Structure 1
Amino acid sequence: MAKLTKRQKAAASAIDRDKLYGLEEALELVKTHATSKFDETVEISMNLGVDPRHADQMVRGVIQLPNGTGKNVRVAVFARDAKAEEAKEAGADIVGAEDLMESIQAGNMDFDRCVATPDMMAIVGRLGKVLGPRGLMPNPKLGTVTPNVGDAVKAAKGGQVEFRTEKTGIIHAGVGKASFSADALKENTKAFIDAVVKAKPSGAKGQYVRRIAVSSTMGPGVKLEISELI
């Protein structure tokens, strides 16, 4: 386990690990202790009462954060001809077809989101073992397999966040930057929590949302009072 710095120890000691904080107070604590030289990401972790090994308990979705993520999202698009040009005009960072597939197979994965037109899925399907584990496989349910590639690229770059449960039933995502105002972070965090709640699967039994915590990239976690949020 990595040794904590003096700054991290001081931040951790200022937070009661047994206390459940209101959202506003928690975000203020996160902002106060995000003192690194870079603009830290504000992250949320939600522990859900699901077992994602069962298909009817998988939680997955997409949310357009009202105030964006503050992150420069690199988008790769599988498209040809007019659709390729549409993607480029919308700001896609990488556009291609077979050449893009070969580049990814060679280990070039310099992008955060992947979009494809429906006719390109025969090519994209060959990359399932590469893109799937990284959560980058285009999916029509998430709007990343679509003929409207321009809109998909703009959404990805404008603050759209995908979420899915990890093996342990935890969902983890960034909801903004420490430099955001407290109100902007609050709006983004509530929007994200609402999206996860709405995505409750049919197979979920008992308490769905068990724990929620927020933190900055280098800061300690702050537990939230769930009853005030759901």
Structure 2
Amino acid sequence: MAQLTKKQKKTAELDSEKLYSVDEALATLREHKAGFDETVEVAMNLGVDPRHADQMVRGMVSLPSGTGKEIKVAVFARGDKADEAREAGADKVGAEDLMEEMQNGDLDYDRVIASPDMMGVVGRLGKVLGPKGLMPNPKLGTVTPNVAQAVKDAKGGQVEFRVEKMGIIHSGIGKLSFADEDIKANFKALTDAVVKAKPSGAKGKFVKKVSLTSTMGPGLKVDLAEVEGA
């Protein structure tokens, strides 16, 4: 049997049933940090079955401390709207030309935004953008006449959350190099937004478990007292 590394031994010694405050969880993750700037991630187990439309949990939230990640944004717009998107910092702006590029596999974007008049073009990309969660959606603010603000929001730390089929939401909330207070502010913003997005079809306990982890770190259960409304 292969011997465990020092880091693996430290992880194995952790109490898997312990409930951590966010401060304690961050301190523990820092003790187990790797040799690069890891992403801090939240996992929320929710009491929903997303196969039912009235139990889907999805939304956008602006993380006050940003994500620490460079976000690539593509915008479907023409004329003045296209100019506004470029000035706001969009990485790619186009119309039919951008549609063709995406159909040919150029999908290296974190967010796709469209002005309402472009949905006839964007609609042809449903089978391409849909599976990647990139399809512009007016409910999420990614179909909007104010494309410049949407680009600024995306670049400034706005993230999308969406429950997966097992009833879990995963989201990065910053880097391990962030100050504790910055990560905690992002944690609160995300968890508050998820709680507020509780769907009408959710019955019983909504937030069942919350965990904090880092890219290479252990998963640590967070005391639900740290989550408002849980």
State the TM-score, normalizing by the size of structure 2.
0.95
- Are 2:26 and 1:30 equivalent residues in the alignment? no
1:12 aligns with 2:11: yes
Q: Which amino acid aligns with 1:68?
A: G
Q: How does 1:16-165 map to 2 (within 5 A)?
A: 16-36=15-35, 38-165=36-163
What is the distance in 2 between the residues matched to 1:5 and 1:123?
A: 54
**Deviation of the 1:27 alpha carbon:** 1.6
Q: In structure 2, how many angstroms separate the alpha carbons of the residues matched to 1:26 and 1:41? A: 14
For residues 68-112 of structure 1, the C-alpha deviation after alignment (integer angstroms, 9 at most, x for no partner) is: 001000000001111111111100001111111111111111110
3-state SS of 1:205 partner? coil
1:15–1:222 CA contact under 8 A, matched in 2? no
C-alpha distance after superposition, 1:153-202 (max 9, x if no partner): 01000000100111111100000000000111011101110000000000
Over 3 Å counting, the alpha-carbon distance change for 1:115 and 1:30 in structure 2 is same
Under a length normalisation based on structure 1, what TM-score does the superposition of the two structures give?
0.95
In structure 2, give the amino acid aligned to 1:26.
A
In the alignment, which of 174, 177, 194 is matched to residue 176 of structure 1? 174
Moved over 6 A (4+): none
- Distance across 2 between alignment mates of 1:209 and 1:217: 23
Identify if the C-alpha distance between structure 1 residues 199 and 87 changes in structure 2 by more than 3 Å, giving closer, same or farther: same
2:223 aligned with 1:225: yes
Question: Please, what is the CA RMSD of the aligned residues?
Answer: 1.5
Deviation for aligned residue 1:4: 9.9
| Structure 1 residue 15 displacement after superposition | 2.6
Task: Give the superposition deviation at 1:40.
Answer: 0.8
CA distance in structure 2 between the partners assigned to 1:7 and 1:110 by the alignment: 37
SS at match of 1:108: coil
Percent of aligned pairs with the same residue? 63
- Deviation for aligned residue 1:119: 0.4
Displacement after TM superposition at 1:140 (Å): 0.8
Cα distance change of structure 1 residues 118 and 18 upon mapping to structure 2, 3 Å threshold:
same
Q: How far apart are residue 10 of structure 1 and its match?
A: 3.5
Contact 1:31–1:216 (CA<8 Å) still a contact in 2? no
Contact 1:211/1:226 (CA < 8 Å) preserved in 2?
yes
Match of 1:213, SS? strand
- CA distances 1:115-170 after superposition (whole Å, capped 9, x unpaired): 00000011111111111111111111111100111100010000001001111111
Query: Where does structure 2 lack aligned partners over 5 or more consecutive residues?
Result: none
Hey, what's the Cα distance between the residues in 2 that align with 1:107 and 1:11? 43
Q: CA deviation at 1:5?
A: 6.9
